[in-house]
Amino acid sequence: MAIQAAPEDVQVATKPLLQVQGLTMSYGFGDSENKILNDLNLDVNDGEFVSIVGPSGVGKTTLLRCLSGLIQPRSGTVSVGGEVINGPHRDLAVVFQDYSRSLMPWMTTLENVAFPLQGRGVGKKERNETAEKNLAAVGLAGQGHKYPWEMSGGMQQRVAIARALAYNAKVLLMDEPFASVDAQTRFDLEDLVIDLQATLGVTIILVTHDIDEALYLADKVIVLAEKPATVVDVIETGFGDHRDQVETKADPRFADARARILHRLRDH
Amino acid sequence: MTDTALRSAPKPGTGTRARRPEAERVRSRPAQVALNVLQRAWLIVVVFAIWWIASADSTNVFIPSLESILTSLGRDLFNGVIAEGAAYSLGNLAAGLLIAVAVGIIGGLILGETKRLREIVDPVIHFFRSVPQAALVPLIIGAFGIGQGPKIYTIAFACMWPVLLNTIDGVLGVEPTIRKFSRVYRIPRGLHFRKVVLPAALPQIVAGVRVALPIGITVMVVSELFAANKGLGFYILNSSATFMVPETWAGALLVGVIGYILSLLFVVLERRILSWYFKSGAK
Amino acid sequence: MKTSTKSLDWGLTTQRLLAVAALLAIWQVIIWSGTLPSMTPGVAALASSIGASLASATFWSALAQTMTAAVSGWLIAVAVGTVLGLLIGSVRALDRSTSILIDFGRSFPVLALMPVVIMLLGATAQMETVVVALSCLWPVLVQTIYGARRMESAVVDTVRIFQIPALLRFRRVLLPSATPFIATGIRISASISILVAVGVEVLSQTPGIGRQITLAQQAQRWDSAFAYLFFAGLVGWSIASLLNFAEGRILKWNRQNND
């Protein structure tokens, strides 16, 4: 993780999985130009869990949309595995905040999870098996016949996560994934994501406005602030693989890091 | 047309949000506007041109050239023949619609507020609104003659049902919290109707009138095509009976244009009446 | 309007029948009072000619003729409207280009074209079908365009992220998400089809219910004219209820939108 662009002479093998260089994004032109992101550089290594935290309206969602290839930045590049992306990419899956809208109500849960595989031409039997397996991984074994709207918000978000996992991308991008569920469900989902990351080794980039969530989940927390958004701090959490909603949050390092982020955000 | 299309159907706009302003807007503003106008207008121009050219030397007596249609339309528009007929027809339409709206709103408010009565008359209402309006024309004209009154009543009868049904739906759709508020603060019944229920149901009511308008125009023309001695429909019928083919076409086109203009005017009116509704984003 | 028909409510049914009886009584009183023109039939005459119609071959063939024209015109409109609508609604440039033309078409009272259409096609069943199809096309087209245009932005993003190929996108995303709107268009146009078919028959004397009503009226057989009118209403009502029911069954998933 580095704020500066990686030096050019780094060997290919050690290159970060996802690399952002000089990313600048704005809407409008001329007098009405509204700059959202200014010259962002990030490196995310394979298997890393990175949180991007910042106040509402700082441009987190715009950043995530650039990372996922849904929008093209004004300047700068996003690359995955050394390949500069110019649109949605095979190695990038996204879990949206709006789970109830991103799941298709006319498909059963199983069909929803299997749909991206169908798009890739995977046969019916195989894709249903994969979907069933991933539903089980998120704790929804045997629930594939249900429709999303027959499930609670937390369960729907599990389905969305299963869908992203089934796509088997190298990087999982999550946009405020737990913002619309109640606190207890949120904790459950956070722990689910931690477990999944540990067992599957997938790289996760999660965007949130919740400092506690960012710290609790991630190996590294990137703090965004100012207008246009820039990286104002990078914190290595160092909590290791074992996390607990009570213990980890009571850790003095947790309190220190949180105070540091709050200061950062207040000063900017 | 006879459908209220608002209860069981998904409302246009529910559950969907406008697409985000994405990054693709690259062109500058004036160019964008010009392109917009061009994109919307070109097809009309093409259709018009094709019609003009294709019909220019038509030998079929029933398909006159567009040029001759427009010539007769222009002539009759300026010599007052059409103006008189249009005034008569549109007067009937306005009167019929007015009656329909008044009866529909009052009936709808009453039925919407009294559950039992609504349930009892529900099948009767649905039966009446399913009666093909055009089939009433020979009966009403046969019984009451070809005067203005019967035509107005036919229009009113046909247009009443969508207004009535939509008003009922609108009243039923009033936010329960607002109803509770009205009860808790003991708003008097009359005031409650005028200031709470009516405005809250207004978007639905207006939608009902929007459905009623084309029905009214259709019934207006049909009643005049069936039997009349005045009006736009009579102009069409009369010219077709006397083999003035371009005039027949001109009359039919004119009714279409009038229908289009009225629907545009209605949109403007709707925007004004319901400005709070559109601005609040309740849609 | 929603009615509670979960379990059959006998009290309600009785009251409904009473309401109908009251309407008929009022009708009879008006007839007796002489306010209406003398030829309007009383309740008894009406009932007997409704019964007589059911036994008459003329009635059934008129009904068949009206239904054939209405249904075939409606089916043509549904097929053309859905295909065109999906195409127009999903291609933005096409949507813009056609918007004025479609606004014009939908507000055009097609029955006003009757004299012109009769000149071109004659007073035939085909002509009737064409007019019905032309009238039914607009609601289907407009609703389908609406449905295709209004895709959830989250769904659009999802489809892009998972790089769903165009054909699959059309079949599994665009089509189902537009279906509730298409269904509404189909339902609206079904009512219109009967209405227009009868209207065409009244105006052009093409065989069918509408013509029978006109003929009965001219022959001063008001009772049978009213009976035919009653059946026309009944058919329209049955079709509307049937489609409403079918829509509720087929679009199970769409319940969430109404919650």
Phi-psi category of A82—alpha, beta or left, where left has phi over 0 and alpha has psi -120 to 50?
Answer: left
Other C-beta atoms closer than 10 Å to the C-beta of A266 total 8
Average pLDDT for A250-258: 85
- Residues paired with residue A92 on neighbouring β-strands, in sequence order: A171
Interface test with B, best of C96, C110, C223, C254 (most B CBs within 10 A): C96
Residue A107 lies in a domain: no
**A71 vs B contacts (CB less than 8 Å):** 22-23
Domains defined along chain C, listed by start:
50-258 (1.10.3720.10)
Distance CA A201, CA A102 (A): 25
Whether the Cβ atoms of residue A60 and residue A249 lie closer than 8 Å to each other = no
By CB neighbour count within 10 A (0-12 exposed, 13-18 middle, 19+ buried), where does C130 fall? buried
pLDDT per residue as tens digits for the range A199-223: 888 999 999 989 999 999 999 999 9
B21 CB neighbours in chain A (<8 A) are 27
Q: Does B255 touch chain C (CB under 8 A)?
A: yes
Chain C nearest C-alpha distance from A113 (Å): 11
Pick C152's closest partner by Cβ from A69, A101, A167: A101
Q: Chain C contact for B263, CB < 8 A?
A: yes
Q: Are C1 and B9 inside 8 Å of each other by CB?
A: no
Task: Identify whether the C-beta of residue B174 lies closer than 8 Å to the C-beta of residue B197.
Answer: yes
Is residue B177 classed as helix, strand or coil in its secondary structure?
helix
Separation CA B27–CA A70 (nearest Å):
20
The answer, for A36 touching chain B at a CB cutoff of 8 Å, is no
Q: Which of B8, B124, B232 comes nearest C247 by C-beta?
A: B8
CA-nearest residue of chain A to C164? A119
pLDDT value of position B155: 93
- At residue A124, the pLDDT reads 92
Chain C partners within 8 Å of B245 (Cβ): 119
pLDDT for res C49 = 84
Mean pLDDT of B214-235: 88
Domain housing A241: 12-91+169-267
A57 band by pLDDT with thresholds 50, 70 and 90: confident
C254 CA: distance to closest CA in chain A (Å): 7
Residue A139 backbone class (left: φ over 0; alpha: ψ -120 to 50; beta: rest): left
Alpha carbon of C142 to those of C136, C148, C239, C240, C248: distances in Å? Answer: 11, 10, 21, 19, 21
* Residues of chain B with C-beta less than 8 angstroms from the C-beta of C223: none
Q: What are phi and psi of A50, to 5 degrees?
A: -115, 130
Interface test with A, best of C161, C175, C177, C251 (most A CBs within 10 A): C161
Would an 8 Å CB–CB cutoff place C155 in contact with chain A?
A: yes
When scoring B17, B19, B22, B24 by the number of chain A Cβ atoms within 10 A, the one with the most, hence best to mutate, is B22
Q: Spell out which residues of chain C touch residue A85, defining contact as CB-CB under 8 Å.
A: none
CA atoms of B57 and B63, how far apart (whole Å): 10
Q: Say whether pLDDT at B61 is over 80.
A: no
Most C CBs within 10 A among A61, A64, A94, A104, hence the mutation to make, goes to A104
Report how far residue B203's alpha carbon sits from residue A262's, in angstroms, rounded to the nearest whole number.
47
State how far residue C248 is from chain A, nearest Cα, in angstroms: 14
Measure CB to CB from residue A96 to each of C154, C168, C254 and give the nearest one: C154
Residues of chain C with C-beta less than 8 angstroms from the C-beta of A104: 155, 158, 172-173, 176-177
How far A218 CA lies from chain C's nearest CA (Å)?
24
- Pairwise pLDDT comparison (A266 vs A109), residue with the higher score: A109
Query: Is A248 contained in some domain?
Result: yes
Average pLDDT over residues B27-40: 77
| Cβ-based neighbours of A175, under 8 Å, separated by 6 or more | A60, A61, A64, A94, A95, A96, A97, A207
Neighbours of chain A (3+ CB pairs under 8 A): B, C
Report chain A residues whose CB lies below 8 A from the CB of C163: 88, 90, 116, 119-120
Distance CA C141, CA C81 (A): 4
Task: Report CB contact under 8 Å: A105, C160.
Answer: no
A27 and B23: CB-CB below 8 Å?
Answer: yes
- CB pair distance less than 8 Å for C155 and A93: no
Classify the complex by whether its ipTM is higher than 0.90, answering yes or no: no
pLDDT tens, residue by residue, B124-170: 888 888 888 888 888 888 888 888 888 999 999 999 999 999 999 99
**What was the pLDDT predicted at C38?**
67
- Whether A23 and chain B come into contact, CB under 8 Å, resolves to no
**Which residue among B15, B22, B28 sits closest to A71, beta carbon to beta carbon?**
B22
Tell me if B134 and C195 make a contact (CB, 8 A cut-off): yes
Contacts of A116 in chain C (CB under 8 A): 162-164
Q: Residue A161 domain-assigned? A: no
Q: Is residue A139 part of a domain?
A: no
Q: Kindly give the pairing relationship between strand A92-95 and strand A171-175.
A: parallel
CB pairs under 8 A between B and C: 229
Q: What is the structure's pLDDT at B27?
A: 54
With beta carbons under 8 A apart, name residues in chain B contacting A30.
28
> Which of A26, A71, A96, A98 is the best mutation test for B, with the most CBs of B within 10 A?
A71
Q: What is the DSSP letter of B1?
A: -
Closest to C109 (Cβ–Cβ): which among B41, B137, B255?
B255
Mutate which of A115, A156, A163, A175 to disrupt the C interface (most C C-beta within 10 Å)? A115
| A25 interface with B at CB cutoff 8 Å | yes
Q: Distance between CA atoms of B230 and B148, rounded to whole angstroms? A: 9
pLDDT 10s digits, A42-56: 899 998 999 999 888
Per-residue confidence in pLDDT tens, chain C, 259 aa: 444 444 567 778 888 888 888 888 888 888 777 776 667 777 888 888 888 888 888 889 999 999 999 999 999 999 999 999 999 988 888 888 898 889 888 888 888 888 888 888 888 899 999 999 999 999 999 999 999 888 888 888 999 999 999 889 988 998 888 988 999 899 889 988 998 999 999 888 889 999 999 998 888 888 888 888 888 889 888 988 888 888 888 777 765 444 3
Query: Nearest-CA residue of chain A relative to C165?
Result: A119
Residue of C nearest to B240 (CA): C115
**Closest chain B CA to residue A61:** B20
Q: Is A80 among the domain residues? A: yes
Domains in chain B with CATH codes: 83-279 (1.10.3720.10)
Chains touching C (at least 3 CB pairs under 8 A) are A, B
- The verdict on residue A53 lying in a domain is yes
Contact B55, B63 (CB under 8 A): yes
Q: B11-15, B256-260, C212-216: which range is least confident on average?
A: B11-15
Task: Using DSSP bridges, classify how beta strands A75-80 and A83-84 pair: parallel, antiparallel or unpaired.
Answer: antiparallel
- C167 Cα to chain B: minimum distance (Å): 22
CATH number, domain of A85, equals 3.40.50.300
What are B63-110's pLDDT values in tens digits? 888 888 888 888 888 888 888 888 999 999 999 999 999 999 999 999
Report the domain count for chain A: 1
